[in-house]
Structure 1
Amino acid sequence: MTPGVDPIAYAPQSVPPPGETLKETLELLGIAQADLARRTGLSTKHINQVIQGTAPLSPDTALLLERATGVPAGLWNAREAAWRTQLAREEEEKALAEHVGWLDNFPLRELVSRKVLPDDSKSVQNLRRLLDFFAVATPDVAQNLRLGYQAAFRRSTVLSRNEYATATWLRLAERQARALPCEPYDRAALTELLPRLRALTVEEQDTWLIELPRLCAQVGVAVVYEPALTKTNVSGATRWLTPDKVMVALSDRFKKDDQFWFSLFHELAHVLLHGKRLTFMDTSENLSPTKSHQDSSEDEANDFAANILIPDQYGAAYQKLAATRHLSLAAIESFARTIGIAPGIVVGRLQHDKALPWTHGNGLKRTVTLG
């Protein structure tokens, strides 16, 4: 389906059956049904059934009609296909009307604001649009597909809070990522890029909003920003779209730069360290550098992110800072300048390590706004 094209808007409201067109053609040419039967070798009964719409107009019949009437077979085939499509659409309309309640599971107003739906009405038209959005045939198929995909999720955080809102957020991000041009994935090049990405933490948001996706696209990583939906607690996600292209999606759920940058490097750890067949959905529960998880991949991703932001070479200096009594903001800013990262990231790390109360130092954190 072409992005931005609403197939519902292009669906004709009424299509005449091919038999009606055949009847009008015979009247125009002055050919009786019995005469047409003799010319085509078909029975009069079959011709009448085609005209009445009780028998399909097959491609073989279309070729015979072309010779007998001069009307191209392609036109007859097109009429038949349009008619059968309309009949199928009418049947689908009846079937979908029984599933309109499925819309109750989704944040309809937010889907309107993100231009997925034209309004928040609980209608068959909106149900069809939502199915198009998820690229699935029916709500039942969507449910079965979700259960099948669940095995591909390293952590079942997609089920936390509102699974439908979370699935919606992931789909919004995935559509963005698929449309983003990227070079083929290059693991070595991504590894070499990490220091440059780390240096972006000190830049203003207007700069890194553009530079981060641009740089990552050069190594096969489609970084996309998708503002958080209500009733979700997802901060980031990693999903391989093809063997040569991986999506890293980031939300603004925490609104602060320390969490944003930790989330980025956490997701990049999944890209570099973990399997291509898995999808990682990350929340506050598995973005804690100090928390041990049942899933070792989350601990690995947390260690990776923590070590990128404050490398081991600065470990002794960091420990000295963390042990300082009456820790000042000036000392935090000085340390951040020395190691080349944003001071808010240092604040976040100190808070996680309980070296700084959660109520202190937050003024050094910068607000992240993605939309």
Structure 2
Amino acid sequence: MTIAHAHQPTVRQGEWRRHRCAERATGVSAGLWNAREAAWRTQLAREEEEKALSEHVGWLDNFPLRELTSRNILRDGSKNVRNLRQLLDFFGVATPEVAENVWLGYQAAFRRSTVLSRNEYATATWLRLAEREARKQDCEPYNRAALTALLPRLRELTLEEQEIWTEELPRLCAQVGVALVFVPALTKTNISGATRWLNSDKVMVALSDRFKTDDQFWFSLFHELAHVLLHGKRLTFMDDRDNLSPTKQHEDTSEDEANAFAANVLLPPQFIAGYRKLAATRYLPLAAIETFAHTAGIASGIVVGRLQHDRIYDWSQGNSLKRKVTLT
């Protein structure tokens, strides 16, 4: 029984015999018949895929197509099968259903700091952009002690112009196992930063330019690094709130811990007495802020941000000392 079954022709064997018969009848080689058959089947598969995808073109309506075009994810903003296929390739999936199932797991993995109105599809796009960039980066294996020792040097970079720190921050972080990437904010994403372990030796820290000012940017950086240092390799975080609120309480204590960590890195304990004296100054002038910032070795805009969140300054005051941050 087994021997007889083993000698039964397979489908491929059956095709080969059929093509040999066609070869004898027409004089065209069996190899050419095989090639034509394969091409025909490939074409059928493409047509079936095209038909299946054409039923899902409306899925593109969920995305900010103009921004996807400007980021070179899509060729243009057209709603067609070509762009749908290109978007699926970007996410590394075959169908919209698979993409959304992946995102459900992705969103469950990320511990969000709060719940704000957002476009989940734009958020998924931003995270995918960040992860793709992070995976490209060559990093040394993660070294917690080395990252901790690096923090003062990273803090010093707050005094530099953007063209310097955009080069230095990723370079320095890569030396300790952190793939730091800058991804411009997408409309309605509300994300200031995200942290995700790509493997046990490499962690992604992604930052956006949602808030457009240096005080917010630097707080976001040290907030995300706090997650790396304090909260373990099994947890991932997506921070999508006004993260310059060191006194605000969150349901997830990890957010409060990250806020406190960032606040302490930017304004270490040895400068708190001077800060309190500054904050108690009546009719606080900008020159006094600049003098204190110089003493503390930090950008003046960061001090302004702290004063605003401590309600010493109104949100409209002191902003001339902040520097704009625009990522490209």
Where do residues 186-335 of structure 1 align in structure 2 (5 Å cutoff)?
186-335=143-292
Distance 2:93 2:248 in 1: 38
Is residue 114 of structure 1 aligned with residue 71 of structure 2? yes
Q: TM-score, normalised by structure 1?
A: 0.79
What is the deviation of 1:233?
1.1
Unaligned runs of 5+ in 2: 1-6
Q: Which one-letter code corresponds to 1:192 in the other structure?
A: A
What is the deviation of 1:161?
1.5
Where do residues 359-370 of structure 1 align in structure 2 (5 Å cutoff)?
359-370=316-327
Distance 1:98 1:336 in 2: 59
Distance 2:248 2:62 in 1: 32
Distance 1:134 1:91 in 2: 21
Distance 2:70 2:194 in 1: 22
Residue 182 (structure 1) aligned to one of 132, 136, 139: 139
Q: Deviations over 1:133-184 (max 9, x none)?
A: 1111211111122112222111175874111111111111111111111111
Change beyond 3 A, Cα 1:72–1:219: farther
Q: Which one-letter code corresponds to 1:131 in the other structure?
A: L
Q: Which one-letter code corresponds to 1:232 in the other structure?
A: T
SS in 1 for 2:193: strand
Q: Which one-letter code corresponds to 1:191 in the other structure?
A: T
Is residue 171 of structure 1 aligned with residue 114 of structure 2? no
Q: Which one-letter code corresponds to 1:102 in the other structure?
A: W
What is the deviation of 1:83?
4.0
What is the deviation of 1:121?
0.5
Distance 2:138 2:290 in 1: 37
Distance 1:239 1:132 in 2: 22
Where do residues 25-40 of structure 1 align in structure 2 (5 Å cutoff)?
none
Q: Deviations over 1:48-70 (max 9, x none)?
A: xxxxxxx95459949x96xx999
Q: What's the RMSD between the two structures over aligned residues?
A: 2.7
Bigger-Rg structure (1/2)? 1
Change beyond 3 A, Cα 1:261–1:92: same
Higher relative contact order (CA 8 A, sep 6+): 2
Q: Does the aligned pair in 2 maintain the 1:158–1:167 contact within 8 Å? A: no
SS in 1 for 2:281: coil
Where do residues 50-61 of structure 1 align in structure 2 (5 Å cutoff)?
57=12, 61=16
What is the deviation of 1:314?
1.2
Residue 86 (structure 2) aligned to one of 111, 122, 129: 129
Q: Which one-letter code corresponds to 2:225 in the other structure?
A: L
